[in-house]
Amino acid sequence: MTNIDLAAMRENYTRGSLSEQEAPQVPDALFAQWLEQAVRSQEPEANAMTLATVGNDLRPSTRIVLLKGHDAQGLVWFTNYESRKAHELAGNPQAALQFYWANLQRVVRIEGVVQKTTEQESAAYFEQRPLASRIGALTSPQSRKVANREALDLAYARIEAEVDASGKNPERPLFWGGYRLVPQYWEFWQGRVGRLHDRLIYSKDKQGQWSIDRLAP
């Protein structure tokens, strides 16, 4: 139970609008604009996005991952290839991403097919990560049960000592790398007064061309 009156909580959406006339013909151009504006508005972790996957048991699951690259080909993040999300993507590569930028009262949703990045892309990103993050990737058996926090800390300390003793930068493990979601559908949501929000969607036809439509809020 909570003493907070959730039913009475209200947010006035007055910070923007979105029209078909101002929307670019391709969605990644609008996304690039909105992402830059989110960063400039000092949105906390503007590149944080919810990743939704579905396992073979048809149970959906979500988690927050960090966008580390985007272009017309798709949106990229990096993770452990032995994690729950990796197993679910191996069985069903259809996935969805969502960004929520509260400062701008905006949401972006993307649906598409996920594929692994090349080994070269994964290695290049791994090498630029802080050393602590690289050691963490080597340490963590992501999504699997561990005895306790102490077990993780001890494993980290052991690998850290091995790295210090070798004097070499740790190489990317084969179980770690990137994914790229290739979009087939985008939705751009802008909060508006009276809950009559703007919702523009981009859908791709069989020829690979994008069309723009408006959805009722």
Q: Which domains does the chain have, with CATH numbers?
A: 13-119+176-214 (2.30.110.10)
- Annotated binding-site residues read 10-13, 63-68, 78-79, 84-85, 125, 129, 133, 142-143, 189, 195-197, 199
4-49 pLDDT, tens digit per residue, is 999 999 999 999 999 999 999 999 999 999 999 999 999 999 999 9
Catalytic pick from 180, 192, 195, 214? 195
Rounded to whole angstroms, how far apart are CA atoms 57 and 55? 5
139-159 pLDDT, tens digit per residue, is 999 999 999 999 999 999 999
pTM: 0.94
195 flagged as catalytic: yes
- Annotated binding-site residues for FMN read 63-68, 78-79, 84-85, 142-143, 189, 199
